[in-house]
Every structure is written in structure tokens, then in C-alpha cells.
Amino acid sequence: MRVTAGSAPSLTGGSPNDRIRRNNLRTLLSILHHGGVHSRAELTRLTGLNRSTIGALVGELTALGLAYETEPSETGTVGRPSPLVHANENVVALAVNPDVDAIIIGVVGLGGVVHKRVRFQTSGVPTVQETINIVSAIVEGMRGELDEKYHVVGVGLAVPGLVTAEEGVIALAPHLEWRDEPLAAPMAAALGYPALAANDANLGTVAERLWGIGRGVQNMVYLNGSTSGIGGGVIVDGHALSGARGFAAELGHTSVHVGGRACFCGRTGCLETEVSLVRLLAVLGRESIDADELEQIIASSDDPEVHDEIERQLDRLALGISNLISVFDPELVVLGGFLGTMFSADPERLRQRVARASFTRLAEGVRIERAELRSRQLLIGAAELAFGPLLDDPAAVAATAIAPRASAV
Ligand SMILES: [Zn+2]
């Protein structure tokens, strides 16, 4: 499994001409999927290919069921207007995000379009088998709609834990209490679609970089905070950092307080034990909270104890961010979940503390922003994982998964 946020590896097999054609199809589909609707003229300009080649490639993507064309509006154009090319948003991936109290399933189309989002509340922390059973039942319930309206290319699983990249095995998901559990293969067998799994925050990072606040950014650090702790992801030179086993960017387990609280991971003073929604909720006298309500309380509370706790957490977060700036030299640091909420309450404080804690020249010009995609982020990220093989070689995947049905309809 490879989470693509940059250029894909070279295609192999076939004649040189065939490889060039497949590579051009890949480039074109990626432009339409990540960049939205383009006219043929714009595609010609962006790719440097000539008009007749673009025409042939668009024709092939259309025949494969991956794209369609519409007539442009005539207003303001000089000469013959160029048809508009769209990625087919009815080519979809199923996105699955198991969490401690719910399983969230999405139907996400090319172009990052979230067609459907289903949140299934569980009575407790679901086991792997329960997760597979629940997802199977929900997908079975949608079967008629999926078969009639959509072309499903695969399933992307966003899991809060350490996921071995190639095998789709959950090495450890502490909050779900999953350990060395194969997930991708049994899910694929149960649903009848290919399935891939990866860490949820890594996938959220990719989504935020492609469709959120990180659009066009080549170097980015993302930190997300929830009741399960802090996860993150890193984009380096346009590529999502994966690591030798796929465990990279466990940013919640970097040290920000020597001698701080013990973390379940075996260390003390980890970012996620010092900057913690659970600790904030304890000060608020709450066990759980809706994101909107938290936003309102943080913005309006005049309780000094709440204020002090938010300031303490923002200062520790600033230390964590300054460490990450030293390691990764990002253009942009993105904050999601309750980290984004705390940041919005006092953005200048966090920015100043980061500047103060950092090697000055390294932190200069680094932007700190709140994530944009919110509840759609993990679904879009998980779908991107499932779309990976299609985006790598559209002709090969679509020929078996999409085109036969598209042409039969
Ligand atoms: Zn830790």
C-alpha cells in the first residue's frame, strides 16, 4: 500500500507507446480527480500534449467510464468553445473508519465528492469481526443503490492505529484494543471489493493536502486531536511520509515535557498526554462533548480554570510544533479536531509561542492554519487510498472494474 500525494512510480509492461498512453491517461485522470473540471483547451495547456492527443485520451477515459464531457456555456468565449471534461463522480470508493463508539462509512466519488455518510453507533468498542459484520450489513443495505448508480472500485480503511503498509494488518490500535489483526484481506473477502488499510491521520493528511487547506503545498505537517489522542501526518516534497513499515508520523508520541505524565506507549510527557481533550473535558466536568459545543464553550467560557488549561495546552502544543518545524521544514502546519478548536480560540498566542520556542530562521514564514475538511476528511482520505491503483493505471483497473458495466448500461 502506498498513499499517493505526489507522482506515482513508472508503469511497466506493454510497448513503449502503450506505456506513454497509459502514463498520459494517468496524468489526465489525476488532473480531473484532484483539480476538478477542465476544458479540453486547459488540459492541452497543462499537459503540453497536442489537441488531437488530448481528444483521443479524453475519448478513452470516457469509454472506460472514468470521465464525461459537457458543453461549455457560450458566454464570453471567442471562437469555438472547448468542451468541459469531468471525472465521473459515480466511480466511487467505499470509505470505512472504525472508532471507539461508532463505525463511519462513506461513499466517495472521483473528485472527492462525498455522496453518502453513514454513522453506525456501536454499543461498545467494536472487535475486528464486529466491524466487518457491521460494514457488510450496511453495504448489503446499499447494494441496490451501489449497483444501479455507482461503480465501486474498492474499499479504503482508515484505522486509528499502527497499520502495516503492505499487508493491511492492524499491528496495534490501542483505543480499539486491536493487536496484530488482519483487516484489509477479510474485509475484501466479505465485501467482494479490493480493500486497503492505513492509519487514519495519515489519510486525513493526504485529504487535507489535496482538497483542504493544504492544496498546492509540497511540505506540510498535520496534527489532529480527538478523545483517542493525537495523530498526524507529514507531506515531504509532495509525498506522504510512510516509513519502513508504514508507522511514520506518530506525532502524538513525541516528547514535549520531560518528566510529564506517563503515556500508554511507555514514554512520559508525550504530546498527546500533555495536549489532551480528555484532560480538557475533565476541567470542564464533562465525559464527552460534541465538536460544535466544545467550540462554543472554548470561545465563550470565562472560567479561569478552563482558560488556564487551554493556555497550558496551547503552550505545550507550541513546543511540539516547534520540534516538528525543526525536523520537517514545512511550509504549513495544519491543526484538526480539538487542536483546531483551541487554535481558533487564540491563534495569535499559539503563533507567538511557536515563534518563541523555535529556531527563529526555521519558523519564519511557516503558516499555521486550521484544517478545512472536518467530517469529510477521513472519508476522502480513505477513498484516496482505495482509488490509488485506479489512479496509478486507469486503463488496467477500469477495464476490469468499470468499463464492462458502463458499456453494458
Ligand atoms: Zn506516548
Q: Ligand 1 mean position to 120 CA, how many Å? A: 29
Cα–ligand 1 centroid distance for 334 (angstroms): 21
pLDDT for position 404: 58
pLDDT at 408 over 50: no
230 Cα: distance to centroid of ligand 1 (angstroms): 10
Q: Are residues 352 and 225 in the same domain?
A: yes
Each residue's pLDDT tens digit, 266-287: 999 999 999 999 999 999 998 8
As beta bridge partners, residue 30 has none
User: Measured in angstroms, how far is the CA atom of residue 277 from the centroid of ligand 1?
Assistant: 15
Ligand 1 centroid–CA 355 distance in Å is: 25
Domain at 244, CATH number: 3.30.420.40
Q: Which pLDDT score is estimated for 73?
A: 74
Share of the chain above pLDDT 70, in %: 94
What band does 125 get if pLDDT is binned at 50, 70 and 90?
Answer: very high
- CA dist 78 and 101 (Å) reads 57
Last residue of a domain, one of 87, 118, 141: 87
How far away, in angstroms, is 263 Cα from ligand 1 center? Answer: 5
- Do 226 and 368 lie in one domain? The reply is yes
Same domain membership, residue 40 and residue 65:
yes
Asked if residue 277 is part of any domain, the answer here is yes
**Whether pLDDT at 194 is above 70:** yes
Distance 224 CA to ligand 1 centre (A): 15
Cα(340) to centroid of ligand 1, in Å? 21
Beta bridge partners of 164: 169
Please tell me the distance between residue 313's alpha carbon and the centre of ligand 1 in angstroms.
16
Residue 266: how many CA atoms within 13 Å on its side-chain side?
Answer: 0
249 with 366, same domain: the answer is yes
Last residue of some domain: 26, 58, 87?
87
The answer to whether residue 208 sits within a structural domain is: no
Per-residue confidence band for 245, with pLDDT thresholds at 50, 70 and 90: confident
Examine the domain organization and report whether 357 and 222 are in the same domain. yes
Average of per-residue pLDDT across 388-400: 90
Residues 21/28, Cβ–Cβ less than 8 Å: no
Look at residues 70, 87, 104 and tell me which one is the last residue of a structural domain.
87
- Record the cell numbers describing residue 92, joined without a space: 466511487
Question: Is there a single domain that holds both residue 111 and residue 220?
Answer: no
Q: How far away, in angstroms, is 254 Cα from ligand 1 center? A: 7
Distance, CA 54 to ligand 1 centroid (Å)? Answer: 51
Same domain flag for 53 and 166: no
Given a cut of 90, is residue 163 above it in pLDDT?
yes
Nearest-angstrom CA–CA distance, 147 and 19: 32
Distance between Cα 143 and ligand 1 center (Å): 41
Distance 123 CA to ligand 1 centre (A): 27
Same-domain pairing of 126 and 171:
yes
How far does residue 264's CA lie from ligand 1's centre (Å)?
Answer: 6
Indicate if the pLDDT at residue 375 is higher than 90.
no
pLDDT of amino acid 5: 44
Q: What spacing in Å lies between the alpha carbon of 380 and ligand 1's midpoint? A: 27
Amino acid at position 395, single letter: A
Is 231 in the same domain as 337?
A: yes
Q: For the domain that residue 59 is a member of, what is the CATH number?
A: 1.10.10.10
Alpha carbon of 268 to ligand 1 centroid (Å): 7
Dist. CA 226 → ligand 1 center (Å): 15
Ligand 1 centre distance from Cα of residue 251 (Å): 9
User: What is the whole-number distance in angstroms between the Cα of residue 299 and the centre of ligand 1?
Assistant: 29
- Ligand 1 centroid–CA 108 distance in Å is 33
Q: How many angstroms separate the CA atoms of 231 and 251, rounded?
A: 6
Q: Taking residues 25-38, report their average pLDDT.
A: 97
Domain that residue 24 falls in: 16-87
Distance 342 CA to ligand 1 centre (A): 21
User: What is the CB-side half-sphere exposure of residue 342 using CA atoms within 13 A?
Assistant: 31
Q: Is the pLDDT of residue 320 over 90?
A: yes
Using CA atoms, how far residue 393 sits from 40, 110, 239, in Å, is 21, 15, 18
pLDDT at residue 206 is higher than 80? yes
| Per-residue model confidence as pLDDT tens digits over 283-317 | 999 887 877 888 888 888 899 999 999 999 999 99
Same domain, 176 and 119: yes
Which grid cell sits at 99?
A: 472508532
**pLDDT the model gives residue 2:** 40
Per residue, what are the HEC states of 61-112?
HHHCCCEEEECCCCCCCCCCCCCEEEECCCEEEEEEEECCCEEEEEEEECCC
Query: Rounded to whole angstroms, how far apart are CA atoms 284 and 280?
Result: 6
Distance 99 CA to ligand 1 centre (A): 19
Query: Quick check: is 209 in a domain?
Result: no
Q: Tell me, what amino acid is at 114?
A: V
pLDDT at 195 (0 to 100): 97
Q: Is the residue at 187 inside a domain?
A: yes
In a domain, 9, yes or no: no
Q: What's the total number of domains in the chain?
A: 3
Ligand 1 centre distance from Cα of residue 228 (Å): 12
Question: Contact, 138 vs 191, CB < 8 A?
Answer: no
Q: How far is the CA of 276 from the centre of ligand 1 (A)?
A: 12
Confidence band, pLDDT 50/70/90 cuts, at residue 128? very high
Is residue 229 domain-shared with residue 365, that is, in the same domain? yes
**Cell numbers at 191, concatenated:** 465485501
pLDDT digit string (tens) for 177-186? 999 999 999 9
132 found inside a domain: yes
What are the residues whose beta carbons fall under 8 Å from the beta carbon of 236, sequence distance 6 or more?
219, 328
As a three-state string, the secondary structure of the chain is CCCCCCCCCCCCCCCHHHHHHHHHHHHHHHHHHHHCCEEHHHHHHHHCCCHHHHHHHHHHHHHCCCEEEECCCCCCCCCCCCCEEEECCCEEEEEEEECCCEEEEEEEECCCEEEEEEEEECCCCCCHHHHHHHHHHHHHHCHHHHHHHCEEEEEEEEECCEEECCCCEEEEECCCCEEEEECHHHHHHHHCCCEEEEEHHHHHHHHHHHHCCCCCCCCEEEEEEECCEEEEEEEECCEECCCCCCCCCCHHHCECCCCCCECCCCCECEHHHHCCHHHHHHHHCCCCCCHHHHHHHHHHCCCHHHHHHHHHHHHHHHHHHHHHHHHHCCCEEEEEEHHHHHHHHCHHHHHHHHHHHCCHHHHCCCEEEECCCHHHHHHHHHHHHHHHHHHHCHHHHHHHHCHHHHHHC
Stretch 65-82: mean pLDDT:
80
> Ligand 1 centre from 130 Cα, in Å?
28
The fraction of the chain above a pLDDT of 90, given in percent, is 75
Q: How far is the CA of 255 from the centre of ligand 1 (A)?
A: 8
pLDDT of residue 403: 64
Structure-block grid coordinates of residue 311: 493556555
In the predicted model, is pLDDT for residue 221 greater than 70? Answer: yes
- Spacing, Cα 273 to ligand 1 middle (Å): 7
Assigned domain for 310 exists: yes
Q: How far apart are CA 129 and CA 177, in angstroms?
A: 13
Mean pLDDT computed over every residue of the chain: 91
pLDDT the model gives residue 6: 45
Residue 1 within any structural domain of the chain: no
Cα(181) to centroid of ligand 1, in Å? 21
Q: Is the pLDDT of residue 409 over 50?
A: no
- pLDDT at 1 exceeding the cut of 50: no
What are the φ and ψ backbone dihedral angles of 93, each rounded to 5 degrees? -120, 150
The answer to whether 23 and 7 are in contact (CB under 8 A) is no
Q: Compute, in angstroms, the gap from residue 271 CA to the centroid of ligand 1.
A: 7
Domain match, 141 and 228 both: no
pLDDT of 78 higher than 80: no
